[in-house]
Amino acid sequence: QQQVKQSPQSLIVQKGGISIINCAYENTAFDYFPWYQQFPGKGPALLIAIRPDVSEKKEGRFTISFNKSAKQFSLHIMDSQPGDSATYFCAASNNAGNMLTFGGGTRLMVKP
């Protein structure tokens, strides 16, 4: 019930392409879905987040798409750049609020 499943584990995209990372959850009480970006040797940093009252949120080249009925959400990185190469984590929390459940992470490599 508390798991968040993330796929793929690794992803290679050409510069300028679209990177897509998917996450699925079971707990219908989850109502906040953030994405974190982690560069090697650094702590994760919040990238973008969505609540289920909207189906899409866009910030620059980063878009979250959310499908409440399917209990799935995804991160799209448009015009991917080598500087986007990092590990991305999806996460979810419920209205208790104190805890985040993280997906397993996706290592993205953008080739120049």
Distance from the Cα of residue 101 to its chain's centroid: 12
Q: DSSP label at 42? A: S
Binding part of the chain for other proteins, among 18-26, 30-38, 60-68, 76-84 by CB under 8 A, reads 30-38
Length reported for the chain: 112
Using the rule CB under 8 A, is 52 a contact of other proteins?
Answer: no
DSSP character string of 68-109? TTTTEEEEEESS--GGG-EEEEEEEEETT-S--EEP--EEEE
Q: Which span sits near other proteins by CB under 8 A: 17-25, 57-65, 74-82, 89-97?
A: 89-97
CA gap 22, 8 in Å, rounded = 7
Q: Is 60 an interacting residue with respect to other proteins (CB under 8 A)?
A: no
37 binds other proteins (CB under 8 A): no
Among 19, 74, 85, 93, binds other proteins (CB under 8 A): 93
Q: Is 32 in the site for other proteins (CB under 8 A)?
A: yes
Contact residues toward other proteins (CB under 8 A) are: 32, 34, 36, 41-46, 49, 89, 93, 95, 97-100, 102-105, 107
